[in-house]
């Protein structure tokens, strides 16, 4: 039996880990370390830096190369094939390094339950014949870090918030029936499809890390600055993770 802990790690600052996350990492018999090629190779280094900061004693690790998701074509089909390939890699890596079973940990950006597919991928392990029990150790989300960094509440008074992705914002525009929209997983500048009139934005990138960047203001004025700063961070560090909150103001 494999006990798989999916551990939320915020945006990679060791201070983002809860005490439960630290305990789970220290209790692991094996820690999986996904490695992405090219500009995102630095993300594996961040995971290793977290281990160096919180492990009381060395824990064996197993690195594996993350497959690339096919671009173009049917999005849902491409994601399904991608998840299947990742699940196969998890199963093969676990079987090679822990054939006798035990506790396996995987660090997940943000929280495993918020716009992350680790739980869906883990569910495929059991379907593939691996005896596995999955636990989630919640993490600080980038949405929490964004609102904390700007010192704002998530929701307007007596109002609702829709959490969506850059891809969906580009495809469908502003979700109806809400004054605020939180946008995650944006490849860059999905807010550009919106009419900026009366829209305010709070944006953050690499939240909680030394290179953290924050911009807020009317979308018409802040949008171009955000695009420039995002490009600068990507050029300088090889990767960027960002998130933003939009508000449509009726009195604007």
How many distinct structural domains can be found in the chain?
2
Pair 58, 164 in one domain:
no
> In the numeric block, which tokens belong to residue 35?
């490695």
Pair 213, 133 in one domain:
no
DSSP-derived letter for residue 64 is: E
**CA pair distance 58, 38, nearest whole angstrom:** 28
pLDDT at 216: 98
pLDDT at 238: 83
Domain hosting residue 178, numbered range: 142-248
Using the 3D structure, point to which of 137, 159, 189 is the last residue of a domain.
137
Pair 188, 99 in one domain:
no
Report whether 65 contacts 35 (CB < 8 A): yes
pLDDT at 133: 94
From residue 212, alpha-carbon distances to 39, 197, 233 in Å are 18, 27, 9
DSSP-derived letter for residue 71 is: P
Using the 3D structure, point to which of 119, 137, 155 is the last residue of a domain.
137
**CA pair distance 116, 39, nearest whole angstrom:** 20
Pair 85, 130 in one domain:
yes
pLDDT at 37: 65
pLDDT at 36: 76
pLDDT at 39: 52
* Beta-carbon count within 10 A of 247 CB: 19
**CA pair distance 162, 178, nearest whole angstrom:** 7
pLDDT at 202: 98
Say what the pTM is.
0.88
pLDDT at 239: 85
Pair 200, 237 in one domain:
yes
Mean per-residue pLDDT pooled into runs of 10, the chain (252 residues): 95 93 97 78 87 96 88 85 92 93 95 92 83 94 96 92 96 94 94 96 95 97 97 90 93 53
**CA pair distance 50, 215, nearest whole angstrom:** 27
């Amino acid at each position: 039996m494999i006990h798989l802990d999916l551990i939320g790690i915020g945006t990679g600052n060791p201070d983002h880990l809860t005490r439960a996350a630290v305990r789970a990492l220290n209790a692991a018999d094996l820690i999986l370390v996904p490695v992405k090629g090219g500009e995102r190779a630095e993300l594996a280094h961040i995971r290793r830096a977290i281990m160096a900061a919180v492990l009381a004693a060395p824990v064996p690790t197993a690195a594996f190369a993350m497959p690339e998701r096919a671009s173009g074509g049917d999005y849902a089909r491409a994601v399904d094939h991608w998840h299947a390939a990742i699940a196969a890699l998890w199963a093969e890596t676990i079987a090679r390094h822990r054939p006798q079973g035990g506790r396996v940990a995987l660090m997940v950006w943000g929280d495993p339950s918020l716009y992350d597919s680790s739980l869906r991928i883990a569910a495929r392990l059991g379907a593939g014949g691996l005896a596995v029990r999955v636990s989630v150790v919640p993490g600080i989300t980038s949405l929490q870090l964004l609102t904390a960094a700007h010192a704002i509440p998530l929701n307007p008074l007596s109002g609702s918030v829709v959490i969506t992705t850059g891809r969906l914002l580009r495809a469908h525009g502003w979700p109806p029936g809400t004054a605020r929209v939180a946008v995650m997983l944006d490849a860059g500048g999905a807010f550009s499809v919106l009419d900026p009139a009366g829209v305010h934005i709070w944006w953050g990138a690499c939240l909680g890390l030394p290179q953290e960047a924050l911009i807020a203001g009317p979308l018409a004025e802040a949008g171009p600055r955000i695009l420039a700063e995002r490009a600068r961070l990507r050029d300088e560090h090889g990767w960027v993770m960002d998130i933003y909150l939009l508000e449509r103001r009726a009195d604007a």
